[in-house]
């Protein structure tokens, strides 16, 4: 006979999502997340570039944008793979907010 503790453990594991955990570099692992998956990306010149992904800290589904960075929370196994498949841009190559508005100035 299963005790309530064992049943609770089984239910919480079943309700969790398998999410990709990655940084802006290309390496990733799969982690089990109880509150869904999250992915973050930057938008420059109309192109979306991956930043990072992993477990969500809150259960609010959807995307929120602040400046050029967007953070999305989703439910479902590997739902944050969308962010992982975005192209990568090195953090040193990311334009500043003024460069986004006015373009990059090349001093010679």
pLDDT tens, 55-101?
A: 999 868 999 999 889 999 999 999 999 999 999 877 677 666 655 55
10-61 pLDDT, tens digit each: 444 457 999 999 986 667 899 999 999 999 999 988 899 999 999 999 868 9
Domain ranges of the chain: 4-100
Does residue 6 have a pLDDT over 60? no
Helix (H) or strand (E) holding 12, with range, is helix 4-14
- CATH architecture of the domain 4-100 equals Ribbon (2.10)
DSSP assignment letter at 48: E
pTM of the model: 0.70
For residue 42, give both structure tokens: 């930057």
């Amino acid at each position: 006979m299963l005790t309530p503790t064992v049943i609770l453990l089984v239910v919480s594991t079943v309700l969790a999502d398998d999410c990709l955990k990655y940084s802006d570099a290309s390496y990733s692992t799969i982690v089990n997340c109880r509150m869904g998956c999250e992915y973050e990306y930057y938008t420059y010149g109309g192109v979306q570039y991956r930043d990072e992904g992993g477990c969500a800290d809150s259960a609010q589904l959807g995307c929120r944008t602040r400046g050029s960075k967007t953070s999305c929370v989703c439910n479902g196994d590997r739902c944050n793979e969308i962010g992982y498949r975005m192209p990568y841009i090195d953090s040193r190559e990311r334009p500043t907010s003024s460069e986004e508005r006015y373009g990059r100035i090349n001093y010679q």
